[in-house]
A and B are shown apart, each in its own frame.
Chain A
Amino acid sequence: MLELFTYDFMQRSLLAAAMVGGLCSVIGVFVVLRGLAFVGAGTAHAAFAGVALGYLMGWPPLLLAIIFGLATVWITGWVEEKGRMKLDVSIGILYTTTMALAILFIGLMKTYNAEVYGYLFGSVLSVTSGELRTIGGLSILVLGLILLFSKELYFIAFDQEMAEASGVPARKIFFLLLTLVALTVVISLKTVGAILVFAMILIPASTAYQLTHSLRTLTIYSILIGISTSVSGVLISAVWDIPSGPAIVLLATSIFFLAILFSPKQERRLAPAA
């Protein structure tokens, strides 16, 4: 198994998996705490529609993925803020609309394009050096912004109105969070695919949520779980010759259920009320 590490493609995919795993698990903390799970799932499908349009028209797919992803989260945030409609309904509509667009764009292509499907299902083992650099650059940008605004992001995740009332520009921070979710989804598309990316965002943070009562510790646990399951998933997929996306997600899901089973919070729930 050790000779796996000597292959260039393997080194690239492990690095990509570690970066994507780390990034998704950090943004996941805020997504889980602020209750934006469905928003991310919708964004992933919107971004995929962007990729499909890119391949159809011969335009840069990642750029279109970013545009589609951002448009979706911003519309969602605007709808929630205006209180026009419940968030899950507006996301449900955008989710299916963008998926319809993706299917339409793929249908309009004259020939079968395997690369498009790569973005749907993920193909971390085929990540190129160029893509790795893009992933790296965007990851640094997103992580940098999270670090820069971490205290405000935590505050709005806990209580957005309270944050607003105490002088934090909560509305702007909320839109920043939505933007970062969209960017994270786009960065991760190639590695884990549109269908599975959201598991990468949700599962590590939800697993960490079972294990601690501190925001700081939650974030650290989430990152550790995210990176280790992504890297292990890629290794499992290479050794057993199975697709990498499902390997990562199923491994993370198993750890999630273990965490629920052995959660200290679980014991507390079962204990008689004091």
Chain B
Amino acid sequence: MSESTNPIIQFDHATFGFPGVIALQDISLSIGMGEFVGIIGPNGSGKTTLCRAVLGLMAPLSGHLRIFDCACGELRCHHRAQIGYLPQKGVVDRNFPVTVLETVMMGRYGTLGLFKRTTKKDQAIALDALAHVAMDAHRDTALGHLSGGQQQRVFIARALAQQPKVLLLDEPTTGLDITTQHNVIELVAHLHKELGLTVLLITHDINMIRPHVDRLVLLKTRLFAAGPPADVLKPDILRQVYGKELVITGKDLVIVEDYHHHH
């Protein structure tokens, strides 16, 4: 496994799960500052567990996890506000009374801490975040009135409003049409370059992220492979993980399970 020069997330033989149920086993992985890492693997391979671990919502059963050089054995760690998180797309109730700007301002709350009120400066940061995702013209629109792709942009802006070092995205393209999926990934790639963010992107869609990532991490409870896309996306490695569900057509990889998942 390649050791990054300046690791900010470091798994050291870390195992996660509940007693009797192992979700991720013996993971050793370093993620360096400014890296764009794609996390892939079949359903139930532990992708979301990895995500929860990085967020500090889950402590390792054994082994260690250090984030920003902080041992996250204890939950509710101060590093959380430095990780901008985009959860798996839930359905936003069309009538939920919250505007775009109010949604993005929530990104400031964890950073501000208790008892502090938001100021003009926080609003400026939120508006700047909206400008980064090209949604500043919609600041007063009801969140529920936006399209799925626009809502994802707003949630990315909320993550940016935390002024994070790491952007963690859990399947950001699920449920979006193909053009919008591409737009969201292009936006993430652009933010990675422009803001120098470390990006961890969990996805089913290997082909979509392949051109943008520095490294791919392939999970199936254990860490199967990690490295540049060309090293990880080899038929023999992928067959071990996906089995018969993998079909290779020319340059593209089609994973049958995901094909069903999306259609």
Contact = CB atoms under 8 A, between A and B. Distances in A.
Given A154-B106, A161-B87, A166 B81 contact: yes
Interface in B56-115: 57, 76, 78, 80-81, 83-85, 87, 90, 95-99, 102-103, 106-107, 109-112, 114-115
Interface residues of A, number: 28
Given A167-B78, A167-B111, A169-B76, A212 B97 contact: yes
A251 interface: no
B42 interface: no
Interface in B190-240: none
B85 A265 contact: no
A217 B118 CA distance: 17
Interface string A160-179: 01111111110000000000
A133 interface: no
Contacts of A33: 96-97
B97 A155 contact: no
A268 B94 CA distance: 10
A214 B81 CA distance: 25
A213 B145 contact: yes
A215 interface: yes
A265 to B, nearest CB: 5
Nearest to A149: B114
Contacts of B76: 169
A21 to B, nearest CB: 20
Nearest to A150: B117
A214 B117 CA distance: 18
B85 A213 contact: no
B109 A166 contact: yes
A33 B114 CA distance: 21
Interface in A39-92: none
A167 B99 contact: no
Interface string A221-234: 00000000000000
A209 B94 CA distance: 12
Contact of B114 (A159, A163, A169): A169
A158 B98 contact: yes
B39 interface: no
A270 interface: no
A167 B81 contact: yes
A172 to B, nearest CB: 9
Given A164-B57, A213-B142, A213-B145, A148 B115 contact: yes
A11 to B, nearest CB: 35
Contact of B98 (A152, A168, A169, A213): A213
A61 to B, nearest CB: 34
B251 to A, nearest CB: 36
A123 to B, nearest CB: 35
A218 interface: yes
A215 B142 CA distance: 10
B97 A218 contact: yes
B184 interface: no
Contact of A214 (B57, B97, B109): B97
A213 B94 CA distance: 10
Contacts of B99: 213-215
Contact of A213 (B97, B107, B110, B115): B97
B144 interface: yes
B80 A162 contact: no
A168 B56 CA distance: 12
A162 B80 CA distance: 11
Contact of A215 (B57, B97, B107): B97
Contacts of B142: 213-214
A155 B80 CA distance: 16
Interface string B98-141: 11001100110111101101100000000000000000000010
12 contacts: A151-B106, A163-B109, A165-B57, A165-B87, A166-B85, A213-B98, A213-B142, A213-B143, A214-B142, A215-B97, A215-B99, A215-B102
Interface of A: 33, 148-149, 151-152, 154-155, 158-159, 161-169, 209, 212-218, 265, 268
Interface of B: 55, 57, 76, 78, 80-81, 83-85, 87, 90, 95-99, 102-103, 106-107, 109-112, 114-115, 117-118, 140, 142-145, 162
**Nearest 6 A-B pairs (CB), nearest first?**
A167-B110, A213-B142, A166-B110, A167-B81, A167-B80, A218-B97
